[in-house]
Amino acid sequence: MTHEVVVFLGPSCDHATARKILDADYRPPAKRGDITRAADAGARIIGLIDGVFFQDCAVAHREILAALRAGVRVVGASSMGALRAAELDSLGMEGVGEIYRAYREGRLVADDEVALLFDPETFIPLSEPLVNIRATIQRALECNVIGADAARALLDAARALYFPERTYDAVVEAAEGKAEPEDLARFLAFAGEHAVDRKRGDALLALERIRDLARGLP
């Protein structure tokens, strides 16, 4: 069964946690051609969670469509998978999670919302994706840690940073002078303990969905 279920997973969730949910052939973040190779090798379900954006050529739409035409179930979520699922769900790709829904509904539009810098050997994130920063700012606002003005200043600062430079420290530093110092200090402390990892949450949902699909394989 394992070789029939291939999951491209990197910084969104560690493989040890993923294996507790789903027994699968876990591979590094997908680059162009990887979906084709997995389908040609006999995969019946492909989970596309993480993929490269700038380090190499990204997964092409046509290779996903070819896999779908060959009868392979392709599930996307969290990162590159969410982007491609929002673009191809009407053609058979299945999307899972909040990030996928936000792209599909146009609440998110930019690719760099999910982009981050990560260690290519360990997949440990070295920067924070904007979609997570956005969710943490919203959580801080809902918890009355910061007000609306500070939330806007922090989000504007995060957007203005290039994606490899996005960390909570860098966002707060970039917002200095545009929000009260006390608000920025409270937010940084809040992010240190309560940061929202939306990409990881969606990745876990996708693994659970793929597990359910795999149980139905004859």
Please give the average pLDDT of every successive group of 10 residues along the chain, which has 218 residues. Answer: 86 96 97 97 97 86 97 97 98 98 96 93 95 98 98 98 97 97 98 98 98 89
* pLDDT given for residue 54 in this prediction: 73
**Do 156 and 123 contact (CB within 8 A), yes or no?**
no
**Do 95 and 101 contact (CB within 8 A), yes or no?**
yes
* pLDDT given for residue 218 in this prediction: 74
* pLDDT given for residue 2 in this prediction: 56
Adjacency order of strands within the sheet including 45-48 = 25-27, 5-8, 45-48, 73-77, 94-96
Rounded distance, CA 180 to CA 8, Å? 42
* pLDDT given for residue 1 in this prediction: 52
**Do 136 and 155 contact (CB within 8 A), yes or no?**
no
Task: Give how far the C-alpha of residue 106 lies from the chain's centroid of Cα atoms, to the nearest Å.
Answer: 16
